[in-house]
C-alpha cells in the first residue's frame, strides 16, 4: 500500500482565467440513465479552458448525476436493480405520496447519489478515467424534461 504524487504539472499564474457556463436540456423516457459525457465534453471544448474544473449540476431533486462504468450496460441495469430493492416504490414507510409511488423514492435515490459533480479539465478535455461516463439518472417513471448546468473555470 502506498501513495505517491505524480507531479504532472507545476503551479502557474493564470492571468487569462476563463469562465464559461452552459446548460443541457435532457429529455428522459422515464427511469434510467442517460449518458451526458459527450455533451459535457463539448461544453468544455467551447470554453477554451486547458486546465481547470467542470462543475456539472442537475437542477432537480428527483433526478441525479452519477459517474459510472461506460462499457457494459448491465452495470447500470444492476445499479437500478439495487436501488429498486433498497428504495422500493410504494413503500408504506413514506408519507409524501401525493405525487405518486415513485416520487419519494426518487428523492431518496437523489440524496444517495449526486446533485453536483466536479470533474478536472486537463489538456482541454475532461480528466475522466478510461471507463468513466457521466450520466443523468432519471428516478421518476414518467418521462421528464431535465436541466443540467455546466460551469467550466480554468485557464
Which position among 41, 89, 100, 122 is part of the footprint of a copy of itself (CB under 8 A)?
122
What angle (nearest 5°) sits at the alpha carbon of residue 107, between those of residues 103 and 110? 135
Question: Could you give the angle at which helices 73-86 and 103-112 cross, rounded to 10 degrees?
Answer: 120
Between 29 and 68, how does the x/- string for binding to a copy of itself read (CB under 8 A)? x----x-x--x--xx--xxxx-xxx-x-xxxxxx---xxx
- Contact yes or no for 53/47 (Cβ under 8 A): no
Q: Is 125 in the site for a copy of itself (CB under 8 A)?
A: no
101 lies in the binding site for a copy of itself (CB under 8 A):
no
Using CB under 8 A as the binding rule, the residues of this chain from 73 to 92 that contact a copy of itself are 74-75, 77-79, 81-82, 85-87, 91
Cβ–Cβ < 8 Å for 50, 154:
yes
Amino acid at each position: 500500500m502506498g501513495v505517491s504524487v505524480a507531479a504532472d504539472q507545476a503551479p502557474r499564474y493564470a492571468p487569462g482565467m476563463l469562465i464559461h457556463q452552459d446548460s443541457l436540456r435532457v429529455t428522459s423516457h422515464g427511469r434510467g440513465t442517460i449518458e451526458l459525457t459527450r455533451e459535457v465534453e463539448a461544453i468544455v471544448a467551447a470554453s477554451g479552458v486547458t486546465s481547470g474544473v467542470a462543475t456539472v449540476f442537475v437542477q432537480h431533486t428527483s433526478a441525479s448525476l452519477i459517474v459510472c462504468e461506460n462499457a457494459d450496460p448491465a452495470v447500470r441495469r444492476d445499479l437500478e436493480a439495487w436501488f429498486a430493492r433498497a428504495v422500493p416504490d410504494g413503500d408504506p414507510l413514506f408519507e409524501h405520496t401525493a405525487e405518486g409511488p415513485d416520487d419519494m423514492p426518487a428523492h431518496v435515490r437523489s440524496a444517495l447519489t449526486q446533485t453536483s459533480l466536479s470533474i478536472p479539465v486537463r489538456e482541454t478535455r475532461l480528466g475522466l478515467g478510461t471507463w468513466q461516463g457521466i450520466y443523468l439518472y432519471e428516478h421518476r417513471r414518467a418521462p421528464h424534461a431535465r436541466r443540467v448546468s455546466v460551469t467550466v473555470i480554468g485557464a
